[in-house]
Each structure stands twice: as structure tokens, then as C-alpha cells.
């Protein structure tokens, strides 16, 4: 599809600097721009490329200051990154949508499915499942007994949703994700053998939740593992049994949360963050990549780093010391030699 700068600016509520009739039919990174492409500049680190890019249109923030001639037509908006995301959503919606029920696939006669269902080949909908309107379930997906899926949700290939789990409206579950597998519950008996504790709860995904590929959300031992509205999880994330993740919290790849931990709203966790069991994490907490969180974080808006995770300003000071440890060791060794020589001289006197 082709769009003029004028049409894009109208859609975004932006203002044009340059040719309003220039046309784009593709998108590109600003540093890799080409004629007919649309790019955006949000991070000042990439500002140098706006003067050399071959992109035809570049979205910029309203406060961007031009310091040299620019070939591209600029569209100024309040937030260039968000505006670019809006355009990508518009583009995605314009693509041909899957529809219909492919064969072979299976819908149990006790299941209830809404209007405009897409069901891919080899997908399976089990007993008493309830599927909302405009749901897309791609090939090889499995929907277990008594599962409920809300309207406008997308289930990508090879997703498995175990029995009794609930998925809300407008959710996206990417390929290979598993919702509702057993939590890791075992009891050690007198014979030192581990005996399985049946996991009889479920997992609940509220509205507007997105789950990355190969992510696992365990069912609760009793009750529910809950991802509140707007939670976004990257690929290869693990959420253990009876965890509750607050609204609009996001986690990057390979993060893991141990059992029964309660995480607040609007938190952000970097890649490979590990959070211990039975903890409480306050609203708005941010944890840098590979942070290990072994205890409660009670202060809202805390920013932590390292393992064990501590306040980021303290961690930065510690890191400044760490990198100097070899030099400090050598200096300590030299001081020890000097002290030894002084002791020897004093003893000789």
C-alpha cells in the first residue's frame, strides 16, 4: 500500500516539513533508509542519520531541532516512536486476515465457538471449551477442556492451553507458548523420594495480555496464576505456580518468577531477571538485565541491578570498585611488602 506524507500526517495529527505529496510504500531503519521508505527518529543517539538517510519520510518529535539540511520530508508528532507503532498497526490490519475452519481440525460437539472463528489445520478444541468472537487459532494449537477464550484473541501455531484456563479479550499468545502446565510442586517423603503434589488450580490471562514464543505460564497448585490486564511477556519467560503479575508489567526474554510471588503494576524487568519465591514486588519497580531478586521490594518505583539486586546507584558505585580490584590487589601486595620490610628494619634495630 502507498501513502502520502499528507495522509500520514493527517492520520497521526502531525505537521509536515517538506513535500506533502511524497509517497512511501515501505518502512526502514533510519540508518538503512531508501527511497520510498518511512523511518522514525526517537533516540537522539541516531540523530546523525537523519542528515544522511535516503528514506523519503521521517517521523520526528515536535522538539527535534534541525542542525543541517535534510533530504527527507519530516512529520513532527508528539512521540515519534508511538506514532511509528500506530502506523505499523495500521499496516498489519491492512494485511489479508485468516478466516474459516481448515481441515483436518477438531471442535468437540460440547464446545461453544463464536462468530468469525479462524481455526487452522490440526488445531484441536476440547470438551466444553468456550471461544469468543473473531478469535484466530492457528494450526496445531490445542485448547483443553473447559478453557475460555475471549473475543479478538490470537492463538499462534503449536500453542497449548491446558484445561480450565482462562484467556481474556484481545490477547496474543505466540507460537509454542504453554499456558497452564503443572506448577513445580513436589513433597519429599521419608524415603527421600519426591512425591508429586497435584496442581488443581488454573492460569488466568486477563484482557490485552501478550505472551511471547515458548513462554510457560504454570497453573496454580490451588487457586489461580494470574496475569493482569496489559501484561506483556517476551519469549522464553517462565511464570511459576500461584504467581500474580500486576497490570501493564513487562518482562524481557528469559526472565523467571518463582512460585507464589506477587508483582505490582507497571513494573519492567530486563532479560534473564530472576525473582525468588513468595516475594512481594511493589508497583513501578524496574530491574536491569540478569538482576537476581531474593527478597521483597517494598519501595514503589525502585530501580535495581545486580545479583543480589540492590539500588542502581549503589550497584554502579560497587561496579566502579569491581573493575579496579586487580589494581587494588597489586597495591595491597606492594603495601604488604613495604610493611614487612619496615618490620624487619625495626626488629634489626
Residue 33 CA neighbour count, 13 Å, CB half: 25
Contact between residue 288 and residue 304 where contact means Cβ atoms under 8 Å apart: yes
Residue 149 has phi, psi (to 5 degrees) of -125, 130
Q: Which of 174, 236, 241, 278 is catalytic?
A: 241
- The alpha carbon dihedral of 335, 338, 343, 344 has a sign of positive
Detail the DSSP E strand segments found in 45-116: 57-61, 73-77, 100-101, 106-107, 112-113
Separation of alpha carbons 135 and 169, rounded Å? 9
Q: Among this protein's residues, is 241 annotated catalytic?
A: yes
HSE-up (13 A, CA, CB side) for residue 284: 5
Is the CB of residue 207 less than 8 Å from the CB of residue 150? yes
Query: Pairing mode, if any, of strands 210-211 and 232-233?
Result: parallel
Residues assigned a catalytic role? 241
Amino acid at each position: 500500500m502507498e501513502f502520502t506524507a499528507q495522509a500520514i500526517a493527517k492520520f497521526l495529527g502531525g505537521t509536515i516539513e517538506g513535500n506533502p505529496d511524497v509517497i512511501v510504500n515501505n518502512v526502514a531503519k533510519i540508518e538503512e533508509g531508501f527511497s520510498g521508505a518511512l523511518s522514525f527518529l526517537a533516540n537522539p543517539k541516531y540523530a546523525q542519520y537523519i542528515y544522511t538517510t535516503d528514506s523519503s519520510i521521517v517521523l520526528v518529535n515536535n522538539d527535534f531541532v534541525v542542525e543541517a539540511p535534510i533530504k527527507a520530508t519530516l512529520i513532527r508528532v508528539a512521540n515519534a516512536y508511538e506514532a511509528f507503532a500506530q502506523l505499523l498497526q495500521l499496516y498489519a490490519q491492512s494485511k489479508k486476515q485468516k478466516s474459516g475452519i481448515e481441515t483436518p481440525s477438531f471442535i468437540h460437539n460440547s464446545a461453544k465457538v463464536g462468530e468469525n472463528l479462524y481455526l487452522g489445520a490440526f488445531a484441536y478444541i476440547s470438551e466444553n471449551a468456550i471461544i469468543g468472537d473473531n478469535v484466530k487459532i492457528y494450526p496445531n494449537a490445542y485448547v483443553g477442556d473447559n478453557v475460555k477464550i475471549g473475543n479478538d484473541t490470537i492463538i499462534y501455531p503449536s500453542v497449548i492451553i491446558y484445561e480450565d484456563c482462562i484467556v481474556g479479550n484481545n490477547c496474543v499468545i505466540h507460537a509454542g507458548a504453554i499456558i497452564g502446565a503443572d506448577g513445580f510442586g513436589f513433597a519429599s517423603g521419608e524415603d527421600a523420594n519426591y512425591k508429586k503434589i497435584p496442581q488443581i488450580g488454573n492460569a488466568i490471562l486477563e484482557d490485552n495480555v501478550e505472551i511471547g514464543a515458548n513462554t510457560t505460564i504454570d497453573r496454580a497448585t490451588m487457586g489461580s496464576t494470574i496475569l493482569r490486564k496489559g501484561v506483556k511477556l517476551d519469549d522464553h519467560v517462565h511464570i511459576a505456580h500461584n504467581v500474580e503479575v500486576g497490570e501493564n508489567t513487562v518482562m524481557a526474554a528469559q526472565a523467571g518468577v518463582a512460585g507464589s510471588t506477587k508483582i505490582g503494576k507497571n513494573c519492567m524487568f530486563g532479560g534473564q531477571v530472576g525473582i525468588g519465591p513468595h516475594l512481594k514486588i511493589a508497583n513501578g519497580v524496574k530491574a536491569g538485565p540478569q538482576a537476581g531478586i531474593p527478597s521483597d521490594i517494598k519501595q514503589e518505583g525502585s530501580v535495581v541491578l545486580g545479583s543480589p539486586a540492590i539500588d542502581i546507584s549503589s550497584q554502579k558505585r560497587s561496579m566502579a570498585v569491581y573493575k579496579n580490584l586487580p589494581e587494588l590487589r597489586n597495591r595491597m601486595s606492594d603495601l604488604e611488602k613495604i610493611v614487612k620490610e619496615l618490620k624487619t628494619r625495626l626488629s634489626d634495630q
